[in-house]
Amino acid sequence: MLHEQLDIAHWKQVFSVARMRAEGQKPDDFNISGPRSIAVIEQLREETFATLPDIERVPTDIFILNRGEPEQPSVTKISGLPYRAAGKPWPMTPSGTTMNFVAQFCFADSGDFVPTLPGDLLLIFIEGKEIELRHRLPGWNSNIIHEFMWGRGEDRDSAVAFEWVSLGDFPLVTLEEIPETPWKITPFYGTLYRTWDYPNTDGFSYPHVAIHIATTLEAIKIGGIYPSPWIPQDDLGTYLCTLNSVFCRNDSYPFLNVPELISAEEWRNSSSRPLTIGDMGLMNIFLAADGSIRWAADG
């Protein structure tokens, strides 16, 4: 395995639903970035529907985030240094501007349920267009939306480039080789957790399913069910993965390697910003029948 594996039993103890209830807290689940959300979601699922013998399950690998750069450069990550050969020309927009390296997905540990792919990793580069929100958050010098993310790929004028890479023994690009890019995105990398999406959960077929408990996970993920069911898939191809915005809970362990809560002031004073897709949305990525990559996103 290339990715580190999440110790879900440990995090269920750290974020115990039973203890939360005893202390008068209401356990809830959110979009998944750090360990709390998935620990709570899995406990709530186990209480309600996940152990039902006849329920349909689809495997998915989700990625719980660590802040910073990984020791293993080929793992699933956001920003930072891509797993890419040194000396290779950097992706540029049709107008000649430098593209941002936004994320990479490593499928090497998910080969038992993904289709045959042109490479082991998929790198994502995006043009650096931004628009300002009408209402800025208090204390932020600038509050932007990454404009490329609204709608479907072919409907946007921002360039998006995908690049397949195979694992190998070759010199990797260094920080000094990467040209100046418009966006400063905080680097994160993923620890893998294999779990399930439940595609056909409704009150008629499965009366034990509570509507407030996540059946399809919104996370940085490979496989499973894509978490935007209102986006027609027929003309997009086979669903591969989802790139999610980075959420930072006001709690201990907002990320796996960050025990203390992160204040809004710390985020404001940082030289970079966590990945924000539209209004904290996500980008679903598909493999078309002709081998091309297609995407659709919502904010």
Maximum mean pLDDT: which of 127-131, 139-143, 217-221, 265-269: 217-221
Average pLDDT, the chain: 85
In this predicted model, what pLDDT tens digit does every residue of 202-255 receive, in sequence order?
655 666 566 678 889 999 999 999 887 666 666 789 999 999 999 888 889 999
192: amino acid identity, one letter: L
Burial of 7 (0-12, 13-18, 19+ CB in 10 A): middle
The pLDDT, as a whole number, for residue 58 is 96
In this predicted model, what pLDDT tens digit does every residue of 271-292 receive, in sequence order?
788 888 877 788 899 999 999 9
**pLDDT, greater one: 285 or 150:** 285
Maximum mean pLDDT: which of 59-73, 91-105, 198-212, 228-242: 59-73
In the predicted structure, residue 92 carries a pLDDT above the cut 70? yes
In eight-state DSSP terms, residue 289 is: T
Comparing C-alpha atoms, which of 293, 299, 172 is closest to residue 239?
293
In the predicted structure, residue 11 carries a pLDDT above the cut 60? yes
| Residues linked to residue 131 through DSSP beta bridges, in sequence order | 145
What percentage of the chain reaches a pLDDT higher than 90?
A: 57
Domains of the chain, by residue range, sit at 8-298
Q: Say which range, 23-32, 80-89, 111-120, has the weakest mean pLDDT.
A: 23-32
CATH of domain 8-298: 2.30.320
Q: Is 27 helix (H, G, I), strand (E, B) or coil?
A: coil
As a whole number of angstroms, the distance between CA 140 and CA 263 comes to 13
Averaged pLDDT for residues 133-142: 42
Place 144 in a pLDDT band, splitting at 50, 70 and 90. very low
**pLDDT, greater one: 237 or 106:** 106
Burial pattern 60-76, b for ≥16 Cβ within 10 A else e, equals: bbbbbbbbeebeebbbb
The pLDDT, as a whole number, for residue 210 is 64
Decide if 128 contacts 261 (C-beta within 8 A): no
